[in-house]
């Protein structure tokens, strides 16, 4: 990883100016990103600017109505995000709350984060995003997102735009006044929701006090997809199956209905293709490219030597 000196620091972002972006533009971007393809850099900048405008209207503690489906870490595992939408429902048919850690470690952090961001801008009341510890300048320079932006866009410009969005993400959410959701957990110095509300989000005996019944968090791999702690007062939800493409875990999402009844959905990793040790995508995408005669050109472009025969359909 090569960084210039000023990549380690970022001047305070100026207040966002009103940005115009049409529903048709967003639908086209979502369609492109759903194919795991990058959108042009200028469109990324406009999307990020509009996202900042929307996110800054939300509080540090988002108030979320039920029903809603809660999702844990994604970590750039794009094809598993597609699997999540298959089992959980498409946006805007399903309301989603993602608990952070959208980027790093997976191969498609750029496409994953930009897709979630485009869905947020297109359907701001249906898609809720809160910040994880990987939505950070320092962390993303170590665990892959920075390098991926350089590789896919040729400069750190897109990374900078995305990190400015990170600054604006909410820190937590409360569902129907009873379920407190946060990425990692509670700080020993935080006792009330009002203390979180007053935190400057641009810097890096709770349940009883705040009248909540459940704390829902992500952040830690659990092999079974979800895990209860302290009786049933704290819950971990993990939504990246076969984490880092090698852990062998399943993933889960949690749907809460209007009465806050819980329904867990467990899902496995999407079928994926590795050629000569190189990850090249989901099986469905590879087969489609083969059928359309594009697979040979793809392998040449990626510098991968492979035989993809009719028997592999």
- How many other β-carbons are positioned within 10 Å of the β-carbon of residue 309? 8
Gap between the Cα atoms of 178 and 174, Å rounded: 7
Give the residue carrying structure tokens 């999307």.
47
CA pair distance 96, 98, nearest whole angstrom: 6
From start to end of 141-270, where are the E strands? 172-175, 179-182, 214-217, 226-229, 234-237, 251-256, 262-267
DSSP state of 311: G
Strand partners, 11: none
Chain centre distance of CA 139: 15
The CB density around residue 61, as the number of other CB atoms within 10 Å, is: 22
> Which residues is 267 bridged to in the sheet?
251
Per DSSP, the three-state class of 206 is: helix
- DSSP state, residue 176: T
Distance CA 231, CA 41 (A): 48
Contacts of residue 211, Cβ cutoff 8 Å, sequence gap at least 6: 177, 178
What end-to-end distance do the CA atoms of the chain give, in Å? 38
Residue 229 annotated to the active site:
no
Q: Which residues lie closer than 8 Å to 150 by C-beta, 6 or more apart?
A: 156, 159
Catalytic residue among 75, 134, 183, 219: 134
Tell me which residue has tokens 């090698």: 246
Contacts of 259 (CB under 8 A, 6+ apart): 66
Element at 71 (helix H, strand E): strand 68-71
* Positions marked active-site: 134
């Amino acid at each position: 990883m090569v960084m210039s000196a000023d990549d380690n620091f970022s001047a305070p972002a100026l207040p966002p100016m009103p940005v115009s972006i049409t529903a048709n533009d967003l639908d086209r971007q979502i369609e492109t990103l759903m194919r795991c393809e990058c959108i042009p850099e200028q469109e990324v900048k406009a999307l990020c600017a509009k996202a900042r405008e929307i996110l800054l209207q939300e509080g540090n503690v988002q108030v979320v109505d039920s029903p809603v489906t809660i999702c844990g870490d994604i970590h750039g595992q794009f094809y598993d995000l597609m699997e999540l939408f298959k089992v959980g429902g498409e946006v805007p048919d399903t309301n989603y709350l993602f608990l952070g850690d959208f980027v790093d470690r997976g191969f498609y952090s750029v496409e994953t984060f930009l897709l979630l961001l485009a869905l947020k801008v297109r359907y701001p009341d249906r898609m809720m995003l809160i910040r994880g510890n990987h939505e950070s300048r320092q962390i993303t320079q170590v665990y892959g997102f920075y390098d991926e932006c350089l590789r896919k866009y040729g400069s750190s410009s897109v990374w900078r735009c995305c990190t400015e969005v990170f600054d604006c993400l909410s820190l937590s959410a409360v569902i129907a006044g009873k379920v407190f959701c946060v990425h990692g957990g509670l700080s020993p110095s935080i006792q009330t929701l009002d203390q979180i509300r007053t935190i400057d989000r641009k810097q890096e005996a709770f349940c009883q006090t705040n009248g909540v019944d459940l704390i829902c968090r992500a952040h830690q791999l659990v092999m079974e997809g979800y895990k209860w702690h302290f009786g049933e007062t704290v819950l971990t939800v993990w939504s990246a199956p076969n984490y880092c493409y090698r852990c062998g875990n399943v993933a889960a999402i949690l749907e809460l209905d209007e009465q806050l009844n819980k329904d867990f959905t467990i899902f496995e990793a999407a079928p994926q293709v590795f050629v000569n040790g190189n990850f090249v995508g989901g099986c469905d995408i590879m087969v489609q490219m083969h059928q359309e005669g594009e697979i040979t050109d793809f392998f040449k472009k990626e510098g991968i030597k492979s035989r993809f025969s009719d028997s592999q359909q």
